[in-house]
C-alpha cells in the first residue's frame, strides 16, 4: 500500500528529529521559557502552509498564555485561484519590505523571542521577520529544512533564515517537502513539513511548560470545555490573561 510509504517516511523524519534535534529543541525551550517567566512574549510566525504550526501553538487546547501568533490573512490562503489565492500568497511572501509592515503593528521588546517556521527559509517575508526581530533585540529561533537551505540559493540579498537565527531546529524534511515516490510519476508527493513542524511545535510547548512549572510560573492553559470538572469561566480567564499580556505597557 502506497500509504505505508508515507507512514514509513514520516516516521523516519520524526526519528531523525528526535535523534538529531532534541538538544536544539531543549535550548530553544529554555530561551522561550526564560522570556515568558520574565513577562516576555514568544511571537510565532509562519506563512503559507508554515502557518499551520503557528495556529496549533496558540490558541490550542493544551497550550497556554505566553505565545503570540503573528498572523496575516494575506499570508494565509483562503482560496486557490483569485483573491486570497495561492498565487497571490506565493508572490507576496517573496516581496522585500512587507515584513516590516507586520512588525510595525506589533509590540516587540528585547526580552521577547521570535519563533519562525519556514520550510524553505529563504523567502523575503520569513527572513525579514527574523532580521527585524534581531534588530529589536529579540532572540530568534528558526524551524526550517536545512537540506533546503543548503541546496537552494537565498532570494533575499543572500540571507538565509538559518544564518540569522540564534537557534535553528532542522525539520529533517527533504528539499521537495514530499515523501512518497511511485513508478511513472516524476514528482514526489505527500508533504512532510507540516507534520514535522507541528510535532516540533508541540515538543516546544511541552518542554517550555515543564521549565515554567519548575520555575514556579503558573500556566493559564486553554482547555476543552468538554473536559469534566473545568469551570465555564476557565477559558475566559485564559483569554483575559492573553489580552493582558498583549496590552503590556511600552
Rounded Cα distance between 67 and 36, Å, is 8
For the four alpha carbons of 23, 24, 25 and 31, in that order, the dihedral sign comes to: positive
Residue-wise pLDDT for 62-94, tens only, equals 999 999 999 999 999 989 998 889 999 999 999
Residues ≥6 apart with Cβ < 8 Å to 66: 32, 36, 41, 42, 58, 208, 212, 245
Residue-wise pLDDT for 233-247, tens only, equals 999 999 999 999 998
Tabulate helix, strand, coil % of the chain (nearest 5): 50, 10, 40
Q: What local confidence, expressed as pLDDT, does residue 114 receive?
A: 98
pLDDT band at 107 (very low <50, low <70, confident <90, very high): confident
Domain locations along the chain: 2-225+237-245
Rounded Cα distance between 116 and 93, Å, is 14
CATH number of 2-225+237-245: 3.40.50.10490
> What's the angle, vertex CA 99, arms to CA 94 and CA 102, rounded to 5?
140
Cβ contact 32:56 at 8 Å: no
Residue-wise pLDDT for 204-229, tens only, equals 999 999 999 999 999 999 999 999 88
Supply the pTM of this predicted model.
Answer: 0.95
Rounded Cα distance between 164 and 197, Å, is 19
Q: Please give the full DSSP string across 40-94, using - where no structure is assigned.
A: --EEEEE-GGGHHHHHHHSS-TT-BTTEEEE--GGGS-S-SSSTT-HHHHHHHTT
Spatial strand order in the sheet of 67-70: 67-70, 42-46, 113-117, 139-144, 167-170
Give one word for 163, left, alpha or beta, with left for phi > 0 and alpha for psi -120 to 50. alpha
Of 121, 108, 138, 139, the closest CA to residue 48 belongs to 121
Amino acid at each position: 500500500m502506497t500509504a505505508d510509504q508515507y507512514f514509513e517516511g514520516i516516521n523516519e523524519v520524526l526519528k531523525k528529529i528526535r535523534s538529531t534535534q532534541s538538544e536544539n529543541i531543549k535550548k530553544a525551550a529554555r530561551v522561550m521559557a526564560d522570556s515568558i517567566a520574565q513577562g516576555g512574549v514568544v511571537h510565532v510566525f509562519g506563512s503559507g502552509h508554515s502557518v499551520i504550526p503557528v495556529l496549533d501553538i496558540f490558541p490550542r487546547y493544551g497550550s497556554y498564555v505566553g505565545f503570540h501568533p503573528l498572523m496575516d490573512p494575506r499570508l494565509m490562503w483562503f482560496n486557490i485561484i483569485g483573491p486570497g489565492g495561492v498565487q497571490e500568497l506565493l508572490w507576496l511572501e517573496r516581496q522585500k519590505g512587507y515584513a516590516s509592515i507586520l512588525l510595525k503593528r506589533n509590540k516587540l521588546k528585547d526580552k521577547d523571542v521570535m519563533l519562525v517556521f519556514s520550510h524553505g527559509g529563504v523567502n523575503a517575508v520569513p527572513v525579514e521577520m527574523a532580521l527585524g526581530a534581531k534588530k529589536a533585540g529579540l532572540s530568534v529561533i528558526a524551524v526550517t529544512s536545512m537540506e533546503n537551505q543548503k541546496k537552494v540559493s537565498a532570494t533575499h540579498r543572500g540571507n538565509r533564515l538559518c544564518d540569522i537565527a540564534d537557534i535553528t531546529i532542522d525539520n529533517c524534511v527533504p528539499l521537495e517537502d514530499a515523501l512518497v515516490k511511485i513508478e511513472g510519476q516524476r514528482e514526489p508527493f505527500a508533504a512532510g513539513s507540516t507534520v514535522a513542524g507541528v510535532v516540533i511545535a508541540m515538543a516546544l510547548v511541552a518542554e517550555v511548560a515543564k521549565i515554567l512549572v519548575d520555575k514556579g510560573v503558573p500556566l493559564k492553559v486553554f482547555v476543552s470545555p468538554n473536559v469534566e470538572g473545568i469551570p465555564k469561566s476557565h477559558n475566559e480567564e485564559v483569554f483575559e490573561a492573553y489580552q493582558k499580556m498583549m496590552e503590556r505597557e511600552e
